[in-house]
Amino acid sequence: MPVAPPQSPPKATLKANAQRFWFRVSEGLEVNQIWSQLQKDARSSYRFYSAGLAEREPGETRGRHFLAVVKALFWAIIEKLSPARRVLLLIALVLLFLPSGGVSYSDKGGHVESFQLDLHVWGGLLLFVVLLLELADRVVMKRDLEIARDIQAWLLPGAPLQLPGYQIAYATRPANTVAGDYYDVIIRPGPTRADDRILFVVADVAGKSIPAAMLMATFQASLRTLSTSSWSLLELVTNLNRYACTNSQGGVRFTTAFFAELDPVTGNVVYVNAGHNAPLLHSASGTIEHLSAGGLPIGILADAAYEAASTTMTPGAWLVVFTDGVVEAENAKREEYEEFRLTQVLERSAAGVPADLLRNLLADLDAYVGNTPQHDDMTCLLLKRN
């Protein structure tokens, strides 16, 4: 009895399978989104590997400078690998650039046998092995960083505090998986509820990624502990600085920070600026005050003297506190966002609420930087008096 030949799956099934495969690979991203992501990754990688490359010297030809840059990039890439993986990569590159050839031999009867040896295939396989080894390290590191990111998220405040007569909004965008920026809103109880003060803090730890995140956690824990005392804001900052200097590696691991203590009843604000970007106090009439009084960043000098200043939030006033990652965000031309653009967004949205202003600011930042990878965390805290 003849056996029927196997039937090919219908075209609709093949198309559905192909679509499921592509969706799994691309996670539903459009082609333009994938291309945009590739551009961003390429720029970020080039910035990472090209850090420290020498500029073209006077009298140096373009060709000579190009070769010097290629050589420097080659060593910058290969030195990121372990010695064993460097050897594998070099062997793979040699095999890829060697011409493939054949091998022939003859037996005792004079019969000639030959076979082709495709060196390119073996070079590609070795490259794939190096990729798998690096990918395994990346997956482990990514999992650890995601855990660190979740822990860091627990340290930051969740939903904004509901403060009668005021509205609050805040957000942070890490340049890497974990950040060195910190913000907080802390109630400092007084003898009675009417005497309660609200402490607003925005800080930026020197450095990036895991080291900065660890120092941020230390800063948060010490601030939360010290803020339960009955000290004034000036005493709080002074003692926080002394403690920070005990584990700042001689001032290398410092933190810029802005502290503001609000009396919700009167709108009076006492603040200390410890080397941070000067926040903006925007009044209902449109005038802007820069809050710059303070002293050195936290953790540099144990005996540093700080100055406290005061101002008042009148009805309709805004307090805008941000880290340098906002105003120093760069576009593709390496031009910074700068404070005047932040001020323009503030003036356009001054009649609204902090949540809307924050959304408009982030949208304006996204439009400005495009696909350019950012080198610093972005954090903004907004407070408006109704």
| 31 assigned to some structural domain | no
| 20 assigned to some structural domain | no
Six-digit token string for 3: 């056996």
pLDDT digits (tens, 9 = 90+) for 234-259: 999 999 999 999 887 777 789 999 99
Given a cut of 60, whether residue 105 has pLDDT beyond it is no
| 133 assigned to some structural domain | no
How many structural domains compose the chain? 1
| 224 assigned to some structural domain | yes
Given a cut of 70, whether residue 116 has pLDDT beyond it is no
List the beta strands (DSSP E) in 206-338. 255-262, 268-274, 280-282, 288-290, 294-295, 309-312, 318-322
Given a cut of 60, whether residue 53 has pLDDT beyond it is yes
Give the DSSP letter string of 53-66: PPPPPTT--HHHHH
**Residue 102, pLDDT score:** 54
Mean pLDDT of 268-280: 96
At how many degrees (to 10) do helices 233-245 and 209-226 cross?
140
pLDDT band at 282 (very low <50, low <70, confident <90, very high): very high
Rounded to whole angstroms, the Cα distance separating 244 from 252 reads 11
pLDDT digits (tens, 9 = 90+) for 148-179: 778 778 888 888 999 999 999 999 998 877 77
| 323 assigned to some structural domain | yes
At how many degrees (to 10) do helices 338-349 and 354-369 cross?
140
Give the contacts of 107 (CB within 8 A, at least 6 positions apart): 113
| 305 assigned to some structural domain | yes
CATH of the domain at 246: 3.60.40.10
| 16 assigned to some structural domain | no
Question: Is the whole-model pTM more than 0.85?
Answer: no
Q: What are phi and psi of 118, to 5 degrees?
A: -90, 100
| 92 assigned to some structural domain | no
pLDDT digits (tens, 9 = 90+) for 285-310: 999 999 999 999 999 999 999 999 99
**Residue 241, pLDDT score:** 95
Whether 127 and 92 have beta carbons less than 8 Å apart is answered as yes
Rounded to whole angstroms, the Cα distance separating 381 from 162 reads 15
Domain range enclosing 341: 160-385
| % of residues, the chain, pLDDT over 90 | 45
Whether 321 and 279 have beta carbons less than 8 Å apart is answered as yes
Identity of residue 254? F
Lowest average pLDDT, out of 11-25, 184-198, 251-265, 295-309, goes to: 11-25
